[in-house]
Amino acid sequence: MRAFRFGVVAAAGEGGARWRETARRAEELGYSTLLSPDNLHLPTPTASLATAAAVTTRLRVGSFVFASPLRTARAAAWEAHSLTTVTDGRFELGLGTGLPSMREQAEELGLPYGDGRERLDSISATIDHVRRLDGDAHTPVMLAAGGPRARRLAAEKADIVTLAGGPLATRDEFAAQVEEIRSHADGREIEIAMNIFVVGDHVPPWIRGFIGVDAETLIEHDSLTILRGSVDDMAAELERRRAELGVSYVSVNGSFLEEFAPLVERLSGT
């Protein structure tokens, strides 16, 4: 089994000073990676991640995730390779096809939203461009794989796959996703990742608005987007997910940076 590592998903929407402090604090707490979302209503991940890397020494930075409708494949690869260069190899390129809301944002940029196949083709081309630009370097690529075609592409070209399902997806559904990815990987080693939206028994209002369900519903359905209980309970749950699903790279919403830190301290590298 792969050793655990942990990331935190946060945005630089509250200004540079707060963002720099978030980066320093994530590194101090032992997180592996600071991950930045992609949205026209937030600072661009390229600027945010370069800033975070500049004020830290070990912390990796990553996009979570570059939405394919918001850039051409070549432009996305240009940004990715640039970040790999200026961070001395501490950048991880997360890619995804984007939420339906990205249609309006793509139109604002004068870019086509495209259908599902076209957006996946753009992701595939982005990876190819990055590999060419990198030369002897290697930018790790993480793919958010929500459907069968995305999982096949991830198995063929990604280094990391973050399991993508609705907040009420079952363990069996996630296990089937992992099996499907492994079956197409032809022996390639792929790191399996999962994002946690909620730590504890309370869902902040903005997260509830995003995922569309409350804490009671998440608990009733044994949702894997929530982690609760004592530190011992939560550590045991993460170890179960690694044993059953192969999940070793766990990211958490930035609202729970401090609450999740005891797990980072306990499990990182184990």
- 3-class SS shares of the chain: helix, strand, coil, % to 5: 50, 20, 35
CA distances from 144 to 85, 97, 162, 202 (A): 23, 8, 5, 26
Could you report the per-residue pLDDT of 56-103, keeping only the tens digit for each? 999 999 999 999 999 999 999 999 999 999 999 999 999 999 988 899
N-terminal to C-terminal alpha carbon distance within the chain: 10
Identify the bridge partners of residue 256 per DSSP, sorted by sequence position. Answer: none
Instruction: Supply angle C-alpha 200, 202, 206, rounded to 5.
Output: 120
How many angstroms separate the CA atoms of 235 and 247, rounded? 13
| Structural domains of the chain ordered from first start | 5-267 (3.20.20.30)
State the virtual CA torsion across 40, 43, 49, 50 in degrees, nearest 10.
120
Is the distance from CB of 193 to CB of 221 less than 8 angstroms? no
Token duo for residue 211: 């995922």
pTM of the entire predicted model: 0.96
How many angstroms separate the CA atoms of 162 and 57, rounded? 25
79 SS3 class: helix
Q: What 3 state SS string does 205-237 have?
A: HHHHHHHCCCHHHHHHCCCCCEECCCHHHHHHH
Query: From the DSSP assignment, how many helices (H) and strands (E) are in the chain?
Result: 11, 11
**Burial of residue 169, with CB atoms counted within 10 A of its CB: 0-12 exposed, 13-18 middle, 19 or more buried:** middle
Extended beta strands in 1-57, E state: 5-9, 33-36
How many angstroms separate the CA atoms of 148 and 269, rounded? 31
Alpha-carbon torsion (54, 9, 70, 119), positive or negative: positive
How many angstroms separate the CA atoms of 223 and 218, rounded? 5
Q: What are the average pLDDT values for consecutive 10-residue runs of the chain, which has 270 residues?
A: 96 93 98 97 96 98 96 98 98 94 95 96 98 96 93 97 90 94 94 96 89 92 96 98 97 97 98
Peptide bond before residue 231 is cis, with ω within 30 degrees of 0: no
